[in-house]
Homo-oligomer: A and B are copies of this chain.
Amino acid sequence: MGAGMVDTKSGDDSLLFLTDENLRRGIEAMFFAYRGFTSDPDRILQGLDYGRAHHRAVHFIHRAPGTTVGNLLDILGVTKQSLNRVLRSLFDDDLVEARVGHKDRRERHLYLTEKGAALERSLSDAQRARMRSAYRAAGPVAVAGFRTVLEAMMDQEQRRQYQAQYQSAKVGAP
Q: Which residue among A77, A150, A162 has the maximum number of chain B CB atoms within 10 Å of its CB?
A: A150
B135–A149 touching, CB < 8 Å: yes
A1-18 contacts to B (CB < 8 Å): 2-4, 6, 16-18
B154–A35 touching, CB < 8 Å: yes
Contacts of A161 in B (CB 8 A): 32
Residue A28 interfacial (CB < 8 Å): yes
B165–A149 touching, CB < 8 Å: no
| Copies in the assembly, this chain | 2
Q: Which of B23, B37, B56, B152 contacts A137 (CB 8 A)?
A: B152
Residue A80 interfacial (CB < 8 Å): no
Residue A148 interfacial (CB < 8 Å): yes
Distance (whole angstroms) from the CB of A173 to the closest CB of chain B: 26
B28–A162 touching, CB < 8 Å: yes
Contacts of A44 in B (CB 8 A): none
Contacts of A149 in B (CB 8 A): 134-135, 138, 142-143, 145-146
Where the two chains meet, the residues of A that have a C-beta atom closer than 8 Å to any C-beta of B are 2-4, 6, 16-18, 20, 22-37, 39, 56, 59, 63, 77, 121, 124-125, 127-155, 158-159, 161-162, 165
